[in-house]
Structure 1
C-alpha cells in the first residue's frame, strides 16, 4: 500500500489533534501540580531510615565453618563421581543431576594417565575411546537441542534391500526407528 497524500484537510486534522494533546497536558498540570509538589515535600521531610547494624563476625568460627563446608563438598563430589562396579544408579532427588556427563569406567580413566598425547596415548587415546560411545550412554540428558533429534533412537539397520531403494529408505529410516508414519515408540523421547 502506498503512502497517502497529505491534503490540507489532513494537515488541519493533525494540527488540531496535536493542539488538543498539548492543552490536555497543560490542564492536567494546572489541576494536579500542587498536590504532587506537596507529596514530594512530605517525602523530603521524612526521617531517613537507620542503617542496619550487624553483630561482629568471629573470624575463627568463620574459618572453621568454611573448612567443614569444603570437606563436605569434596566428599560429596567424590561420592557422586565414583563409578559403581555393579552398574546400578543411585536414586537422586527430584530434577536433573548436578553433573552433565555420566562417570567414566575405571578402564577408560586409566587410559588418561598412561602415556603422552604426542605419542597418541594418554589423553589422545582417552578422547578416542570416549568418542566411540554414543551420547545417550555418555550424558544424562541431551545438552543441546540438536541432540533431541537423534536421542535414544538406537541403531537403524535397513535389513533387506528393496527393488525401489528411495521409497524404502525414506519410509523405514525417516527420523524414527519404527518409521515416520507409524505409531511412536515409547522410547522415542525426542518426539515429545
Structure 2
C-alpha cells in the first residue's frame, strides 16, 4: 500500500473524519462502562499491606517445585554415560589404531601400561606421561625436605615434552622437542663461533664496530 500524502486536502478530510469517528466511539464506550470504571478505580476490599518483596516471594515459592524437578532430572542426565557415535562408525578401530600414541612413536606400552589397549577400545589416550617413581616418592614423604611443594618444584624442572605426550598450550610450541632438532648449537667458545659466522657471511670480514675501539 503506498504511503498517503497528508498534505493533500482530500486526504486531510478523510483523516479528520476517521479521527472524529474514533473519538465518538471512545466516548460512547466510556459512557457505557462508566460504572465499571468507577468500581475498578475505587478500592472496595480491605488492604493487605503486601510489599513488592512479598509478591516476588510468593511467585518464587510457587516455582520452587519446578526448579527441584528440573534439578533432579539434570542429576540423572549427568550420571548417564554419553553415547559416542564413533562406536557405530565403520572403520573407526583402524583409524584410532593408526593415530595412537604408540603408532606415532611418542610412547611405548612398557613405559606407560595405559597405552596397551585393544584396537576396539575407543577411550581417549592419556594426556600426561607417567610420573617417575623416584619423583612420586617426594610427594608422600614428610615435610620440610619433602612434600607437595618440593614435588612441584621437582616437576617444574622437567621439560614439558617429558611430562606430556602433546603440547597442551600454544606457548609450548616454541622449543617443543628441540633436542631432536638438527640445528647446530652455539659453540661453547665464542672465538670458534665468531670465525664460523664470519666465514659464512656474504660480505666477508668486517671491521670492528665503534664501541670496540679504545677511548681517545
Please tell me the TM-score bracket, short chain as reference: 0.3 to 0.5
- Structure number with bigger Rg: 2
Alignment TM-score, normalising by the size of structure 1? 0.35
Query: What TM-score, normalized to structure 2?
Result: 0.32
